[in-house]
Amino acid sequence: MTKSKHLDTQHRILAENLRGCRYLAGLSLREAAEEIGYSHAYLAKVELAQISNPSKDFLVRLEACYGLPKSSILRMAGYGRTRKGLAEKKPKATALGSKRIRDLTPMQRWAVRRALDFVH
């Protein structure tokens, strides 16, 4: 597999996992975009793998919104450790996103963990 095809596959997997995490968090595209402070069009393009390298800030905000462990999405996207200052930024919807992930059924939580473990 060429490097280009590998990256395309990695971006597609990231996009599918982000869409799945949003679904399991119980958010529509517009709700998630509003909570993280980005446009729904940008989030849609990331979820369709049309944007291959979303910003770290965007990904950190999604982690908080979906109630996922810090750096889990960043690792999925191929980033190493986060800078201390960036990891500490949280969108205003952090508590709401965390509550929703806690409200998932055990099977849904297992699916999210499995998706995150898959890319590690």
With helix as H, strand as E and coil as C, how does 46-78 read? HHCCCCCCCCHHHHHHHHHHHCCCCCHHHHHCC
**What pLDDT digit, counting tens, does each position of 67-106 carry?**
888 888 888 888 765 445 444 444 444 444 455 666 667 7
Does pTM surpass 0.95?
A: no
Specify the pLDDT at position 102: 64
pLDDT at 92: 44
Q: Which residue has the higher pLDDT, 118 or 8?
A: 8
Digit-coded pLDDT (tens) for 10-59: 788 888 889 988 988 889 999 999 999 999 999 999 999 998 789 999 99
pLDDT above 70 (res 63): yes
Residue 57 identity (one-letter amino acid):
D
Burial of residue 42 (CB within 10 Å: 0-12, 13-18, 19+) is: middle
Q: So what's the pLDDT on residue 100? A: 62
User: Domains in the chain and their CATH numbers?
Assistant: 3-118 (1.10.260.40)
